[in-house]
Amino acid sequence: MTIPEIDFPSSDSDFIKDPYPLMKDLREMSPIVLDKTTDLQLVTRFDGVKNIQTSKNFSSSPPNDLEGSESSIIDPKEYEYFWKTEEFSLLNLEGQLHGDLRNLVAKAFSNRQVQELRPFMENKSSSLLEGLKGEEFDLLKDYAQPYSISVIGKLLGVPEDMYERFLDWSNKIVKMYDLKVSDEDSTDAENAAKEFYEYTLSLIDQKVNTPGDDMITRLANVTENDQKLTKDQIICTVILLLNAGHEATVNTIGNSIVTLANNNIDTLNLDKKYNIKNIIEELIRFDSPLQFFQRWVLDDDYVGGVELKKHSKVAILLGSANRDADSFAEPDQINFKRSNLSHTSFGGGVHFCLGAHLARLELEVSFNNLFSNSILLKSQPERTGAFGIRGYKEIEVKI
């Protein structure tokens, strides 16, 4: 079966506004379509996405025997510091090194340690919302961002007066993860990565000298089979936890509240009407904050009967997979009683989201608090314009 070729409109504002109708057409057209602009094979259906997430034949890092420009995720010479913050990112590693590093990080990030943050989250969420009641405010800037950065900052052990800087660095760096990146954005990302790298290095040194009850201290001390994380590995992990954790959680809060408003679902006591865990999973399924991830094909393979060539690249479309009618009944409807909750938004296989337990708790605490109110959308919010990290510029609400 030949792969249909398309021009995937990843920066078209109408598409970004609502990408789901086109993605439905693509799913119906073929399990794989080729985007002519990026030369990426887009995986459109749930089965194909799951298959790739869990198969050893698809790699997040370039194959060892691949040469030329395609053999690197980023050019370390051009983006020295961005590379230094990415080199040991779990997202880009495979095999033994990925497994060893992931085990060490997971040991410093247990469910018990996450649950201990619940009282802190509850306090933060309530105090932020208390100050906003009756006012018109931006749900992202005034609530979701300060909430999420405080939680991740507290977890990591970052001083509070550095939260703003961390946010700014993170916002600039994550622009590098989109399908197309402008020169200006990549220069900003490189500068932010340099400052981020240098600051985090000094913070690790501080924690080594004066240990705290926080994750950077744990990352600096954790051992398994006599292995320890190096400083560069800790820096990459801290930056990944912040970038992966913060952006996706903030955008899930924003996307969810807009989804509820646009589907005329009153938020007041929603968590009393349905199981909060089902509400969270359904909202993450419906409008995934992370829309795609890329993989290299290690050896010739077939997905949905379509041949994928060795060393070519695929992008798995998580948001599209979550709307696949072969896996989810009436996928374009919100249904808090859905029996199938296994969406693709947290990934799958060896790269399954390492912070899913934290994200779910952050969302539960936030929604429990937000749902003690009716939330009014004051205007229809505008999307950021990015396809990969799906969110809004601002969300004007009143509670």
Q: Which of 177, 180, 156, 342 is nearest to 247 (CA)?
A: 177
Among 23, 235, 248, 314, binds ligand HEM (CB under 6 A): 248
Yes or no: say if 194 and 167 are a contact pair by the CB < 8 Å rule.
no
Binding positions for ligand HEM, 136-175, rule CB under 6 A: 152
Residue type, 62: P
Binding to ligand HEM by residue 319, rule CB under 6 A? no
Q: Which is nearer to ligand HEM, 207 or 351 (CB)?
A: 351
CA–CA separation, 237 vs 259, rounded Å?
A: 32
Minimum Å distance from CB 210 to ligand HEM?
A: 23
Contact region for ligand HEM (CB under 6 A) — 15-23, 125-133, 353-361, 380-388?
353-361
Q: Which sign does the torsion angle of CA 31, 392, 367, 357 carry?
A: positive
Q: Does 345 bind ligand HEM (CB under 6 A)?
A: yes
- Decide: 139 and 253 in contact? Cβ < 8 Å: yes
What 3 state SS string does 258-319 have? HHHHHCCCCCCCHHHHCCHHHHHHHHHHHCCCECEEEEEECCCEEECCEEECCCCEEEEEHH
Is residue 361 near ligand HEM by the rule CB under 6 A?
A: no
Quote the CA–CA distance of 282 and 333 in Å, as a whole number: 10
Tokens 């509240």 -> residue: 257
- Report if residue 381 touches ligand HEM, rule: CB under 6 A: no
Query: Does position 241 bind ligand HEM by CB under 6 A?
Result: yes
C-beta separation of 45 from 76 below 8 A: no
Which of 222, 359, 375, 397 touches ligand HEM by CB under 6 A?
359
Instruction: Show the site string, 23-62: x = touches ligand HEM by CB under 6 A, - = not.
Output: -------------------------------------x--
By C-alpha distance, which of 347, 372, 363 is closest to 276?
363
Q: Could you give phi then psi for residue 290, rounded to 5 degrees?
A: -115, 120
DSSP per-residue codes, 175-218: GGGSSS--HHHHHHHHHHHHHHHHHHHHHHHHHHHS--SSHHHH
Residue given tokens 């993605």 in the structure block: 23
377 near ligand HEM, rule: CB under 6 A: no
Residues that contact ligand HEM, how many (by CB under 6 A): 25
Residue closer to ligand HEM (CB basis): 188 or 282:
282
Tell me which stretch binds ligand HEM (CB under 6 A): 34-42, 162-170, 286-294, 330-338.
286-294
* Tokens describing residue 81: 């510091």
3-class secondary-structure state, position 40: strand
Stretch binding ligand HEM (CB under 6 A), from 41-49, 138-146, 171-179, 348-356: 348-356
One of 31, 157, 331, 355 touching ligand HEM (CB under 6 A): 355
Per rule CB under 6 A, is residue 244 in the interface with ligand HEM?
yes
Residue 23 CB, nearest distance to ligand HEM (Å)? 17
Instruction: Show the site string, 66-95: x = touches ligand HEM by CB under 6 A, - = not.
Output: ------------------------xx----
Q: How far is the CB of 5 from ligand HEM (least distance, A)?
A: 25
Token duo for residue 197: 């790298």
Query: Which residue in the set 34, 43, 108, 240 belongs to the binding site for ligand HEM (CB under 6 A)?
Result: 240
353 binds ligand HEM (CB under 6 A): yes
Binding stretches for ligand HEM (CB under 6 A): 60, 90-91, 102, 152, 240-241, 244-245, 248-249, 252, 284, 289-290, 293, 345-347, 351, 353-355, 358-359
